[in-house]
Structures are given as structure tokens and as C-alpha cells.
Amino acid sequence: MKPRIVAICGTRPDAIKTAPVVLELRKYPEVECILVSTGQHREMLAQALSAFGLAPDYDLDIMVHGQTLAQVTTRALEGIDSLLEKLKPQWVLAQGDTTTTFVASLAAFYRQVPVGHIEAGLRTDRIDRPFPEEFNRRAAALVSRLHFAPTSRAAENLIREGMSAASTFVTGNTGIDALHHVAAISEAEWFPEHKGRVVLLTTHRRENWGESQKGIASAVRQLVDDFSDVLLVVPMHRNPIVREALEPILGGHDRIKVIEPPDYMDFVKLMQRSTLILTDSGGVQEEAPTFGVPVLVLRNTTERPEGVHAGVAKLVGTEPTVVLNESRILLTDDDAYKAMAQARSPYGDARACERIRFILLRELGVESPEVPMWT
């Protein structure tokens, strides 16, 4: 029987960053790669996978409206454990920092199946920031056999925590692979009738729920009032807590477009169309620099400091006057804007999936072309 690899995802970011790895592994008939969805974000996950021509081989469908983190965790653990017993894989792949990632690694550990952790080694200085993602990725690292770090900084984090250098590989981020794949095939066009600038806002993290998101919304509404050529676009997260904070402040303005979350292919083109992006999303922090779009990070800390150090992203927090002033600077100061609008990514070269494939197949005794590690 062929060696079997089970790739498990649960959310839209998981799907985006796992899909190109699955496509790469499926080029090699010597192994079988099975794609599993927990259904943690079911509809948004399906949208993301469809951009790559993929659908889950197994869908655990764990999502129940209003369930707690504990309920998500226990339902996912039971479902993944049962599936691992049935499939008996040689490897499990888990991506990033979601509850699905943590549970997949734990279930594999219980079954003594080796885990490959994609996007390993991202860290902040607090285990509850972001919550619960920081815990999830630290816990996954403890039981992973292979650590696919997106950057050298991430690899250094892992080695400092006691992970073996021999098990830690700097691959680049698979999200950049996904971005290049989709940008090359998408034909979406956003707001061709608007001849001015587009500012994109995405905010959904738990740490910003409530008053912080209301402050962000107030700041960007004022920004639109201050700049008559600016169109603000706000893809609204499906979580009702987020919508309750943002919609009353951002609704009813003729140059603010509050929209449903676009599918991944369309969102890539929306980022390309943007002049400036304000976000608390980790994925957007990684993706926007590829298109030379400056990013203001609506957080006080980030596990993706490479963009900040490269000058393509800036931490601004959520205090309304700071958010407004930093945005104004980039919309009025050409030199400040050009300094951040560097069309280069510190996160990868779109060959991360090839590196992961080579390392994983080597573990299984299967020959495949090697690619030098990302530096």
C-alpha cells in the first residue's frame, strides 16, 4: 500500500496555505495525500479550496452555531481521532495556529503518527496574544516531528525552545505559493468606476473584539471623510460579534463598501487593487507585501515581525487617533508611502510547497527533486 499523508485544515487561512501543499504532493503517485476538513469555518473553507480545484476527501462538519472553544476542541478531537484510526496514515500535516491545528497534532500524537507542522515557529511574547492562536502553535510544536518554518526567525524561535535543528527547515511560507497561484489565474476586477484610492480594512481577531474594533471603525470612517478620493472597503467577517461592532459605525456612507467576505481569488485581486491595507490578519500581513501595498497592523504585537523589520508593515495598535494619524501620513506623504511600498516579500519565493514535498517524501523513502532552502 502507498504511504499515506493526511493534511488537515479547518479554517479559510488553513485551506489557503494547505491547498498548494496538497497539489504539490499529488504530483507524485508514489504517495497518497488525503485532504481532511474539520469544518471549523465550513463555507469560507470550501470557498478557499475551490480556488485550487480542491474539495475535502473527508469533512468532519464540527461547526455548531455559538459553540465554545472547548466544544470546538472536543468535537474536532473525537472526529480526527476516529478518522486517523480508519486511515492509518504515515504522516499528518497541520498548518498554522488554529484550533484545528492544535487538535490535529494532539490527535496524531495520541495515535503516535508523526506530525509535520506547516508555518511553524511564529511567536509573540505572550501565550494569550493572539488568543487562542499563540497557544495552538506552541502546543503543535511540542509534538511535531518536522517543523516547516516560513522564515529564519521562525526557525530560530523553534531551536531556542529546544526543537532539533535537524527537524527544522526554513521553507518560506506556503501562503506566498498560494498567492502566486491565484493571482495568475484570477480575472476579478474591483471598482473599475472608482478612479481614486482604495483603502482595505480587515479586522476579526478576538483580542480586538468590542471597544477596540469600534475605535478602529471610528478612525477609518473619519479617514474617508478627510480624503474625498478614498473608497473604504470592509469585507465583514461572519462572526456576529465583529459585525455588531463595525456595521453601525461604517454603514450608510457612500464611499464605504461593507461587503460579504469575498472568495479567496477575488480577495487577492482586492488586495492588488488597494492603495493601503489596515488589518489584524496574519495572512494579509504576509500577502500584501508581494503586491507592494503598505500594511498598517492593527495590533500591539505580531508573530510576523519580518514585514515590520523589512519596512513593508507597521504596528499601529488600535487606538483611534494613532490609526487615523498613521493612515493620514501614508495618504499624504509620498516619501513615507514609497518607503513602505516595496514590491518584495520577506516571507517566501513561492517554492515552499516544493521544499515541504521534498523533505516529507524523503522521510518516506521516495525520491523527488530537491529545492534549496529559503533564506
Catalytic residue among 237, 273, 304, 355: 237
pLDDT digits (tens, 9 = 90+) for 120-135: 999 998 999 889 999 9
pLDDT at position 16 over 80: yes
For residue 203, tell me if it sits in a domain. yes
pLDDT at position 301 over 80: yes
Catalytic residue among 41, 123, 204, 351: 204
- The CATH number covering residue 109 comes to 3.40.50.2000
Q: Are residues 327 and 224 part of one domain?
A: yes
Catalytic residue among 24, 32, 133, 306: 133
204 is a catalytic site residue: yes
Q: Are residues 71 and 29 part of one domain?
A: yes
Average pLDDT value for the chain: 94
The answer to whether the CB of 88 falls within 8 A of the CB of 116 is no
Q: What is the domain range of residue 148?
A: 4-172+351-363
Q: What is the pLDDT of residue 163?
A: 97
With helix as H, strand as E and coil as C, how does 83-125 read?
Answer: HHHHHCCCEEEEECCCHHHHHHHHHHHHCCCCEEEECCCCCCC
Q: Are residues 310 and 223 part of one domain?
A: yes
Q: Are residues 355 and 328 part of one domain?
A: no
pLDDT at position 41 over 80: no
Q: Are residues 292 and 248 part of one domain?
A: yes
Instruction: Return d(Cα 22, Cα 108) in angstroms, integer.
Output: 18
206 is a catalytic site residue: yes
Q: What is the pLDDT of residue 242?
A: 86
133 is a catalytic site residue: yes
In the sheet where 313-315 sits, what is the strand order? Answer: 256-259, 230-235, 197-202, 276-279, 295-297, 313-315
How many residues does the structure list for the chain?
375
Q: Provide the pLDDT confidence category of residue 187 given band limits of 50, 70 and 90.
A: confident
pLDDT at position 299 over 90: yes
Q: Are residues 208 and 166 part of one domain?
A: no
Q: Are residues 17 and 160 part of one domain?
A: yes
Taking residues 268-279, report their average pLDDT. Answer: 96
Taking residues 165-180, report their average pLDDT. Answer: 96
Instruction: Return d(Cα 302, Cα 39) in angstroms, integer.
Output: 27
The whole-model pTM stands at 0.85
Per DSSP bridges, beta strands 115-118 and 91-95 are parallel
For residue 183, tell me if it sits in a domain. no
For residue 154, tell me if it sits in a domain. yes
pLDDT digits (tens, 9 = 90+) for 226-249: 999 999 999 988 888 889 999 999
Q: Provide the pLDDT confidence category of residue 272 given band limits of 50, 70 and 90.
A: very high
Q: What is the pLDDT of residue 103?
A: 97
Q: Which residues have C-beta within 8 Å of that of residue 217, sequence separation ≥ 6?
A: 245, 246, 249, 250
Q: What is the pLDDT of residue 254?
A: 94
Share above pLDDT 90 across residues of the chain, in percent, rounded to a whole number: 82
211 is a catalytic site residue: no
For residue 260, tell me if it sits in a domain. yes
Q: Are residues 164 and 17 part of one domain?
A: yes
The answer to whether the CB of 33 falls within 8 A of the CB of 5 is yes
Q: Which residues have C-beta within 8 Å of that of residue 373, sequence separation ≥ 6?
A: 169, 170, 171, 355
pLDDT digits (tens, 9 = 90+) for 83-105: 999 999 999 999 999 999 999 99
Instruction: Return d(Cα 353, Cα 369) in angstroms, integer.
Output: 12
Taking residues 280-289, report their average pLDDT. Answer: 91
Q: Provide the pLDDT confidence category of residue 369 given band limits of 50, 70 and 90.
A: very high
193 is a catalytic site residue: no
Crossing angle between the packed helical segments 133-143 and 99-110, to the nearest 10 degrees: 20
Q: Are residues 239 and 326 part of one domain?
A: yes
Q: Which residues have C-beta within 8 Å of that of residue 102, sequence separation ≥ 6?
A: 73, 132, 135, 136, 137, 139, 140
Q: What is the pLDDT of residue 174?
A: 97
237 is a catalytic site residue: yes
| Cis peptide leading into residue 130 (ω within 30°) | yes
Q: Are residues 129 and 199 part of one domain?
A: no
Catalytic residue among 14, 24, 32, 119: 119
pLDDT at position 343 over 70: no
pLDDT at position 39 over 90: no
For residue 9, tell me if it sits in a domain. yes
Q: Provide the pLDDT confidence category of residue 205 given band limits of 50, 70 and 90.
A: confident
For residue 184, tell me if it sits in a domain. no
Q: Are residues 19 and 60 part of one domain?
A: yes
| Phi, psi dihedrals of residue 308, rounded to the nearest 5° | -65, -45
For residue 92, tell me if it sits in a domain. yes
For residue 371, tell me if it sits in a domain. no
Burial category of 278 from C-beta neighbours within 10 Å (exposed 0-12, middle 13-18, buried 19 and up): buried
Q: Are residues 120 and 67 part of one domain?
A: yes
